[in-house]
């Protein structure tokens, strides 16, 4: 089996950028305020598993869902690129996640004992942007071997959420709001480039 290692590394960077676990730190800290270290570790573990499962299922079943609704993958790629561009522009302005929770939802999340799946894993981390991206990536892969490696890539990226959330308070104290905003803006720039690439490739493939 010959795999383009660089391609999978690029996919991993793209997924990490879209998940944006650094940008999720403030909400994570507010939602888990008052919980013990053991409870937070349990929540993080469930969040990581949920992110990996959601994105893996999206990668495996995404094409079938598009076929069921009669949506051409290139049209979906263009639409997904536009959506990612909106997220990227939002990140460049350090405005936080584009998919936001209402004050009522945040209040309910804080009161919940378990926020690992909703809203942390979905929609905060593995939201529409991440799901669209894995569907677009998986659609370009042929054969079970390539998809298996891609699923492995998704799991590795999901695992990167673990240390970031585990060290959330430490990172928040050390780099501060300014540092996190800088990191989010850098990831927003990377995401904008990925979004434009998706749009151009989708339009080109659909029209020509």
Please give the average pLDDT of every successive group of 10 residues along the chain, which has 208 residues: 80 93 88 88 95 96 90 91 90 69 54 77 90 92 89 96 93 85 89 92 85
CA distance 150 to 138: 7
CA distance 151 to 71: 23
Domain carrying residue 75: 5-207
**Which run of H or E residues covers position 51?**
helix 37-68
Instruction: Give the pLDDT confidence score for residue 102 in this predicted structure.
Output: 54
| Calpha distance 169→192 (Å, rounded) | 28
User: For residue 17, what pLDDT is reported?
Assistant: 93
Query: CA 123 to CA 75: how far, in whole Å?
Result: 23
Supply the CATH number for residue 27's domain. 1.20.1250
Yes or no: say if 174 and 83 are a contact pair by the CB < 8 Å rule: no
Give how many domains the chain has, as a whole number. 1
């Amino acid at each position: 089996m010959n795999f383009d290692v660089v391609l999978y590394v690029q996919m991993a960077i793209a997924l990490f950028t879209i998940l944006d676990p650094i940008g999720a730190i403030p909400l994570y800290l507010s939602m888990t305020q008052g919980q013990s270290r053991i409870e937070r570790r349990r929540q993080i573990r469930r969040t990581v598993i949920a992110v990996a499962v959601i994105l893996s299922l999206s990668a495996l079943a995404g094409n079938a869902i598009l076929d069921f609704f009669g949506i051409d993958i290139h049209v979906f790629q263009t639409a997904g690129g536009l959506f990612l561009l909106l997220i990227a522009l939002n990140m460049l302005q350090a405005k936080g996640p584009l998919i936001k929770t209402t004050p009522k939802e945040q209040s309910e999340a804080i009161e919940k004992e378990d926020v690992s799946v909703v809203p942390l894993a979905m929609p905060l981390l593995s939201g529409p942007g991440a799901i669209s991206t894995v569907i677009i990536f998986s659609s370009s892969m042929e054969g079970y071997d390539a998809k298996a490696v891609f699923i492995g890539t998704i799991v590795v990226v999901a695992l990167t959420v673990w240390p970031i959330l585990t060290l959330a308070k430490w990172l928040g104290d050390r780099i501060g709001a300014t540092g996190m905003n800088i990191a989010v803006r850098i990831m927003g720039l990377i995401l904008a480039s990925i979004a434009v690439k998706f749009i151009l490739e989708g339009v080109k493939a659909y029209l020509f």
